[in-house]
Amino acid sequence: MVQHTTLATDRLAAQREFRTELIDSGVLVATSVDGLYQRSAVFESVVRGLERRVSAEGADRYEPLLFFPPVLPRDVFVRSDYLRSFPDLTGSVDTFVGDDRDHAELLQALDSGADWTQYLTPAEVMLCSAACHPLYPSLTGTLPVGGRRMEVQGFCFRHEPSIDPARMQVFRQHEFVAVGDPEVCVAHREEWLERALRILGGLGLAVRKVVANDPFFGRAGRMLAANQRDTALKYEIVCPITSAEFPTAIASGNYHIDHFGGPFSIRTADGDTAHSACIGFGMERITLALLKTHGLDPQCWPSTVRTQLAL
Amino acid sequence: MVQHTTLATDRLAAQREFRTELIDSGVLVATSVDGLYQRSAVFESVVRGLERRVSAEGADRYEPLLFFPPVLPRDVFVRSDYLRSFPDLTGSVDTFVGDDRDHAELLQALDSGADWTQYLTPAEVMLCSAACHPLYPSLTGTLPVGGRRMEVQGFCFRHEPSIDPARMQVFRQHEFVAVGDPEVCVAHREEWLERALRILGGLGLAVRKVVANDPFFGRAGRMLAANQRDTALKYEIVCPITSAEFPTAIASGNYHIDHFGGPFSIRTADGDTAHSACIGFGMERITLALLKTHGLDPQCWPSTVRTQLAL
């Protein structure tokens, strides 16, 4: 127990120290909200170098890259069923649809320190939880033989305030998604996990593959988490950032079975409910792993790394 | 009246037609929510070309470019006073902070088609309304002599569902901001309005400068709008996209007086409340103006335009 506590304290101290280094060097700018950062041009140049690097790996094998905005239609979010597993991470968007009188009441509440958000109404959109969620409604219907393969990038929001710089509330995922038969999907996940290990290892990161351990919510969530581990549907590629004992997941490969094919009515050419799988690169986390591994100034990184990222 | 109605109908038809062209050509992908689009790699390459072009224009005169995430701290949003003028455009973020029992009730509401959002709680963040809002809290205190000049880019959210492709709910602004004495701020706005006319005109866009006419909310808003026009604090650079009679604002220069300096306690070297001014380039709108003016395939644009955008 003593050792466990020491480990946890060390871990927190290491997270805080790296965060301070990132902020003092100007690579990230802190805000008043934990886990919410402004990115320097230096940070962004690494993200874009990574984008080119992983995108080149999928070239010609995938449909053209799509960039998704940070919000998605509410009905798509609901059908993704994210609320069942991770309600605590979601971001629902409210707006004001009232008249002059309602507005006057809202401002009165605001000025008197009361809860002004009671005058708001749910909008048609939610913040994205995973980059591939907005993709599935566009696949409703029957797939061509062999399924489809897509490449997408988007901002995700996860409400988990933390001082760990690798646990941001807003970050980008760059994903490669396959939909089709189970065989197509499992092969996609396996190929990309190997490819991701090669790409990230080639950038000098000490990566390895582990079975994923997602933070499913609550009592029911503990069963879902155990089931996820037992069935090994999702793997993570982890890398030490602020802790060797608790490496950070910087990419993941996830076989969804019919989790999206069902609700979004996606069918294979044979008429079966389509399966899907995705590999997601966490652009901010990989950038942080590179900054931790090679130093805070990308101009001083090994030339092989700089070349691969076209920095 | 007949002519007015005809104009409005023509305008709507032209917006719908351009939207259809953009979607049919794959430049944008529609979602089930009006004003919310997925961007193709082609669209994004123009946005990034524009980013390089305008950023080069500010080089060495501005502090290094910062990229802001699409959400900002709620207290910063409140202090920006956006709720007073544009409540109907805002996006407030809710999340779930309950326990297992609350979660069960949320899911029961969801499954029975009831309002599940009643189980959510306002989070510490809001969606950004303008790219420069997250900047001001970092300037609290006393400025150096001559003030400061910053360059920022960020996603903005404005809840105004529309079939006009130039009225997106989510878009990027690239801004140059000055804070300091009134003279510094007015000069900044004037210089940049001229610079923006030159940059955008140089890209073949039929731009001109007009006094801005923001859609302030409600009865009180009509007075604010009249005041904005009378004092000419904000100018827009407009360009025909789907209508010559109703050109679209694709950039704007705004002198805020002490609208931000006051609430964020920013002081000049002399101890006065700092003024501020910004020029904002609407990245999606400029891209749409280019696509409308030069055609849907940037590979076929005039070489002078392609060279300037490094396409």
Helix H, strand E, coil C: the string for chain B is CHHHHHHHHHHHHHHHHHHHHHHHCCCEEECCCCCCEEEEHHHHHHHHHHHHHHHHHHCCCCCCCEEECCEEEHHHHHHCCHHHHCHHHCCEEEECCCCHHHHHHHHHHHHCCCCHHHHCEEEEEEECCCCCHHHHHHHCEECCCCCEEEEEEEEEECCCCCCCCCCCCEEEEEEEEEEECHHHHHHHHHHHHHHHHHHHHHCCCCCEEEECCCCCCHHHHHHHHHHHHHHCCEEEEEECCCCCCCCEEEEEEEEEECCCCCCCCEECCCCCECEEEEEEEEHHHHHHHHHHHHCCCHHHCCHHHHHHCCC
User: Is the pLDDT reported for residue A5 higher than 90?
Assistant: no
Q: Are A91 and B94 within 8 A, CB to CB? A: yes
Interval A28-67: pLDDT, tens:
999 999 999 999 999 999 999 999 999 999 877 899 999 9
pTM for this model (two decimals): 0.96
Q: Are B37 and A117 within 8 A, CB to CB? A: no
Q: Are B120 and A70 within 8 A, CB to CB? A: no
Q: Are A76 and B32 within 8 A, CB to CB? A: yes
Q: Are A66 and B134 within 8 A, CB to CB? A: no
Please tell me the predicted confidence (pLDDT) of residue B8: 82
Q: Are A218 and B92 within 8 A, CB to CB? A: no
Please tell me the predicted confidence (pLDDT) of residue A3: 62
Give the tokens for residue B92: 């407030």
Restricting to B residues 77-106, those with a Cβ less than 8 Å away from any Cβ of A are 78, 83-84, 87-100, 103, 106
Give me the numbers of helices (H) and strands (E) for chain A, helices first please: 9, 14
A69 at B interface, C-beta within 8 A: yes
Interval A61-90: pLDDT, tens:
899 999 999 999 999 999 999 999 999 999
Superfamily of domain A2-91+129-309: Bira Bifunctional Protein; Domain 2 (3.30.930.10)
Of A64, A84, A91, Cβ closest to residue B41? A64
Report yes or no: B131 and B173 within 8 Å, Cβ to Cβ.
yes
Chain A closest CA to B288's CA: distance in Å? 16
Q: Are B96 and A87 within 8 A, CB to CB? A: yes
User: Is the pLDDT reported for residue B1 higher than 60?
Assistant: no
| Boundaries of every domain in chain A | 2-91+129-309, 93-126
Of A103, A134, A220, Cβ closest to residue B87? A103
What residues form DSSP beta bridges with A252?
A236, A280
What residues form DSSP beta bridges with B149?
B178
Q: State which residue of chain A sits closest to B28, comparing Cα positions.
A: A66
Chain B closest CA to A3's CA: distance in Å? 30
Tell me the pLDDT band of B4, cut-offs 50, 70 and 90: low
User: Is the pLDDT reported for residue B256 higher than 60?
Assistant: yes
B223 at A interface, C-beta within 8 A: no
Please tell me the predicted confidence (pLDDT) of residue B220: 84
Give the whole-number percent of chain B exceeding pLDDT 70: 99
Chain A closest CA to B156's CA: distance in Å? 10
pLDDT, averaged across chain B? 95
A134 at B interface, C-beta within 8 A: yes
B218 at A interface, C-beta within 8 A: yes
A71 at B interface, C-beta within 8 A: yes
B225 at A interface, C-beta within 8 A: no
Q: Are B26 and A64 within 8 A, CB to CB? A: yes
Distance, in Å, from the CA atom of B235 to the CA atom of B228, rounded to the nearest integer, reads 10
Report yes or no: B129 and B157 within 8 Å, Cβ to Cβ.
yes
Q: Which helix (H) or strand (E) holds A30?
A: strand A28-30
Q: How far is CA B211 from the centre of its chain?
A: 17
Q: With beta carbons under 8 A apart, name residues in chain B contacting A218.
A: 99-100, 103
Report yes or no: A47 and B88 within 8 Å, Cβ to Cβ.
no
User: Is the pLDDT reported for residue B213 higher than 90?
Assistant: no
Interval B107-120: pLDDT, tens:
999 999 999 999 99
Return the SS3 of A193.
helix
Q: With beta carbons under 8 A apart, name residues in chain A contacting B170.
A: 69-71
Interval A269-311: pLDDT, tens:
999 999 999 999 999 999 999 999 999 999 999 999 999 999 9
User: Is the pLDDT reported for residue A1 higher than 60?
Assistant: no
User: Which residue type sits at A173?
Assistant: Q
Interval A171-184: pLDDT, tens:
999 999 999 999 99
Please tell me the predicted confidence (pLDDT) of residue B3: 63
Please tell me the predicted confidence (pLDDT) of residue A138: 96
Please tell me the predicted confidence (pLDDT) of residue B232: 87
Distance, in Å, from the CA atom of A224 to the CA atom of A233, rounded to the nearest integer, reads 12
